[in-house]
Chain A
Amino acid sequence: HNSPPSDPLSILKDILNNYSKSTPQRTKLIDAFLGFLVITGVLQFAYCVVAGNYPFNAFLAGFSATVGQFVLTASLRIQSNPANKPEFASVSPERAFADFVFCSVILHLFCTNFIN
């Protein structure tokens, strides 16, 4: 307990500082994409709540495309993080990216099929 920041604002500030200092550029790009996906998902959900879910399959297709893309991108971020290197002995960053492309293609095939 040498210097526990008691103020929530300062905790947040610390996090942001630490993040912008230590995160590589590519990872930040991924994070920007993740943020975009979160915003898209929230917007879709809000629209669904406001306007009703009549073509339910369309809502599900759109929303699960965002959620699926989010977790796939998050997986890519985890796999390409150098700190996780020992965890992923058999997955190089290039392999991780190829996996990401493969999974995304399947995801979008399923989504376009499901939206009818």
Chain B
Amino acid sequence: MSSMEALLKDESTRNIRRLLKVVILITIAGAAVSSRLFSVIPLFMNESPRGLSETILGLGETVTFGSGTGDIGVWKSDDAIVDPWFNFRASKYLVKNGFYNFWDWFDDRTWHPLGRVTGGTLYPGLMVTSGAIYHILRMLSMPVDIRNVCVLLAPAFSGLTALATYLFTKEMKDESAGLLAAAFIGIAPGYISRSVAGSYDNEAIAIFLLMFTFYLWIKALKDGSAFWGALCALFYFYMVAAWGGYVFITNMIPLHAFVLVLMGRYSPRLYVAYTSWFALGTLGSMQVPFVGFLPIRSSEHMAALGVFGLLQLVGFVEFVRYQVPSRQFKTLLKALIFVVFALSSAVLVLLTVSGVIAPWSGRFYSLWDTGYAKIHIPIIASVSEHQPTAWPAFFFDLEMLIWLFPAGVYMCFSTLQDQHVFVIIYAIMASYFAGVMVRLMLTLTPVVCVSAAIALSNILDTYLSIKTPPTPTVGAPGADERKEKKPRVNILSAGKDSIVGIYSKASSIAVIAAFSIYLFVFVLHCTWVTSNAYSSPSVVLASRLPDGSQHIIDDYREAYYWLRKNTPDNAKIMSWWDYGYQIGGMADRTTLVDNNTWNNTHIATVGKAMSSREEVAYPILRQHDVDYVLVIFGGLLGYSGDDINKFLWMIRIAEGVWPEEVKERDFFTPRGEYRVDDGATDTMKNSIMYKMSYYNYQSLFPAGQAQDRVRNAKLPAVGPTLNILDEAFTSENWIVRIYKVKDLDNLGRDHASAAAFDAGKKKSKRTKAGKGAQRKLRVV
């Protein structure tokens, strides 16, 4: 045993240990990357005709749990699938047209009559990163397609996240805890869910930047070095350029500093680290056009500014105290600090109330007042990711980490240093936010990994120690006493022995074996969750046939490619905003609204058109130059994320703008049911959304037996008629239906009477057998 100890402590083994560390980190990075490829490789293996082009974007799909029933229901998350399409389109533009054109890009193919100033309304970090990687690879004479860079960016950055987590945890405890944390975050499903290959989303690089910024902050605080503070500010700037979640950092670091001041842990190091971060970081964040003057004007950033002022004050007071050591003066100064702090918060409140500083934006405010979004901003509440998290989701995403997490936080309390305060605050804040919103599980995962690693590493430190206690018989005078006492020692008082600790091999082996099993099960769980829940492409729907073979439903791409090939290049497509980015990315056509929901009224216009009668909808379609209308219909296949299920949100959003014309109440039966069958209300049956979804649908079934498999409803025997639209395309499984907007009638009639006339003429032809027509000819 002692020879083993000597070997481990030997200077010459240091290199071996270093090598081991490098090998472990590389393995972790490899595991992190390979576990994210479940979604890409099966599509290679399928030997599908398109071959390599199957590395498609937007594979991310989140799973939420049917609350109450406990069974897993797969919900389409509206954000995760489609955002990558816009990012990809922007990256292509960047690579093709260069940086300056990208910066000034006015996109006239979205938000049709309005257009979008893209350069000023996006976070450019992701596109610039992939553009830089693309150009570097070309410089190294590896000409890779930009699409492959985009698809594989998230796995690559997850390796870097593992490294950043290692560094962060190393600052908290030691290297072994760091390696554990890196291994955890490499495969934890909570993070994989947003970073599988193909999810080319802002979160792909944001979590790496988050962890690395926090690491640099801790480093700056520990050393009191302005250099690390400046690096922290630079990575904060990168983070601001990459993700809107930078506000989390903007509030975490000031909160940490504030708590340290309250705990009486103010030190010159804190001043140096915080002020160098704040001065450079704020100025840096204002360079991003989308952020602009927000750091001065909006409430989310006021905490950082306030703590900056407070630290100046505290620093000045400390300085004066150093000059004049008088007790009376000190109390005076403490009172001064308090008064100034209270005064400045009062001024802040005053400025916010009077409107000089913008109040909390709805998205952030809804994190505090959880009922706010549902009442006031339906567009925020309509996204399934903005729902509260159910308990099983925590266990599903984090498995054993979720119960090691509180233990790790407790251990941070027991060795409370400046940096541990940070982990504690981060844990509390992130837990709250993850509880409020499913999507914010992502920011919780890193701190769970860190503190679980701290806890587990403490356990391993205790039980893996091969130290043997110094034998008590060495001391001569003590030995006699012990011998005399020995008969009296029984099992119960064994703890009173002078040597405290766990030195029995049996207990060590038992505990270590248990935790090894937990760790193996953790790996199995993560792999299972990743391959089953988080790696299903959302553009291509996969289903299983009774014999177990896989059946691919590819309606989305079928329809989008139809649009791409068979419509004029400047055709305008109207659809609900969920599909805006996909249409822009895959069909390459102009859309009216898309997932960047910056103009609520415009979305409400689309909602109004979808939810009103034909006579009302047609002028709206004409005014917006709409050529095609696209709806998603899952009734044939039982695909629940279709437009009829989203219809209520369209109505709500439209009602928010035109409460007189669109009324949600009208779409419910007198008993308050939302029905599509015979019992549906007239308003429902006459809305163009209903008509477009069920147009000609009954022709698939024997008469009177049309069945909607999502709503489990038997549809009316007579299908709806459409006067203002022509069916242009319906995909194989009826998921995507595209309608062409009719032109104005040649004779100036409205469409309903024109259609009625056409129908009547046909009937008269058949019955009168052309007699009248001949007579007319004779007269002329």
Residue in A83, A98, A107 whose CB lies within 8 Å of B322: A83
Chain B residue nearest in CB terms to A113:
B287
Residue B224 interfacial (CB < 8 Å): yes
Residue in B230, B315, B323 whose CB lies within 8 Å of A74: B315
Residue B284 interfacial (CB < 8 Å): yes
Chain A residue nearest in CB terms to B316:
A74
Chain B residue nearest in CB terms to A76:
B226
Over the window 32-71 of chain A, the binary record of Cβ atoms lying under 8 Å from chain B Cβ atoms (1 yes, 0 no) is: 0000000000000000000000001100100010011001
Interface size on A, residues (CB 8 A): 41
Chain B hits for A1, CB < 8 A: 327-328
Expressed in whole angstroms, the Cα–Cα distance for A114 and B282 within the complex equals: 12
Closest Cβ–Cβ distance, residue B459 to chain A (whole Å): 31
Residue in A5, A78, A103, A113 whose CB lies within 8 Å of B229: A103
Residue in A15, A56, A68 whose CB lies within 8 Å of B293: A56
Are A84 and B324 within 8 A (Cβ)? Answer: no
Are B226 and A96 within 8 A (Cβ)? Answer: yes
Expressed in whole angstroms, the Cα–Cα distance for A15 and B268 within the complex equals: 21
Are B287 and A90 within 8 A (Cβ)? Answer: no
Are A87 and B323 within 8 A (Cβ)? Answer: no
Expressed in whole angstroms, the Cα–Cα distance for A4 and B315 within the complex equals: 23
Main SS of chain B's interface residues? helix
Q: Give the contacts of A1-34 with B (CB-CB under 8 A).
A: 1, 4-5, 11, 14-15, 18-19
A90 with B225, Cβ < 8 A, contacts A83-B322, A102-B230, A111-B283 known: yes
Are B279 and A71 within 8 A (Cβ)? Answer: yes
Are B283 and A79 within 8 A (Cβ)? Answer: no
A79 with B226, Cβ < 8 A, contacts A71-B276, A113-B287 known: yes
Expressed in whole angstroms, the Cα–Cα distance for A106 and B228 within the complex equals: 13
Chain A hits for B226, CB < 8 A: 72, 75-76, 79, 96, 99-100, 102-103
Are B225 and A91 within 8 A (Cβ)? Answer: yes
Closest Cβ–Cβ distance, residue B419 to chain A (whole Å): 15
Are B280 and A91 within 8 A (Cβ)? Answer: no
Are B326 and A88 within 8 A (Cβ)? Answer: no
Chain B hits for A88, CB < 8 A: 223-225, 268-269
Residue in A4, A67, A75, A84 whose CB lies within 8 Å of B276: A75
Chain A hits for B561, CB < 8 A: none
Closest Cβ–Cβ distance, residue A100 to chain B (whole Å): 6
Are B284 and A91 within 8 A (Cβ)? Answer: no
Expressed in whole angstroms, the Cα–Cα distance for A64 and B226 within the complex equals: 17
Expressed in whole angstroms, the Cα–Cα distance for A78 and B271 within the complex equals: 9
Residue B383 interfacial (CB < 8 Å): no
A110 with B280, Cβ < 8 A, contacts A1-B328, A74-B315 known: yes
Chain B hits for A110, CB < 8 A: 280, 283-284, 287
Q: Which residues of A contact B (CB under 8 A)?
A: 1, 4-5, 11, 14-15, 18-19, 56-57, 60, 64, 67-68, 71-72, 74-76, 78-79, 81, 83-84, 87-88, 90-91, 95-96, 98-100, 102-103, 106-107, 110-111, 113-114
Q: Which residues of B contact A (CB under 8 A)?
A: 223-227, 229-230, 233-234, 267-269, 271-272, 275-276, 278-280, 282-284, 286-287, 293, 296, 312, 315, 320, 322-324, 326-329
16 more CB-based (< 8 A) A-B contacts, given A68-B280, A83-B322: A1-B328, A14-B324, A60-B296, A67-B279, A72-B279, A74-B271, A75-B271, A79-B224, A88-B223, A99-B230, A102-B227, A102-B230, A103-B276, A110-B284, A111-B283, A114-B287
- A-B contacts, 30 listed (Cβ < 8 Å): A4-B328, A5-B326, A11-B329, A15-B323, A18-B323, A18-B324, A57-B293, A64-B279, A67-B279, A68-B279, A71-B279, A71-B312, A74-B275, A74-B315, A75-B271, A75-B276, A76-B226, A78-B271, A78-B272, A79-B224, A87-B269, A88-B223, A88-B224, A96-B226, A99-B226, A103-B229, A106-B230, A106-B233, A106-B234, A110-B280
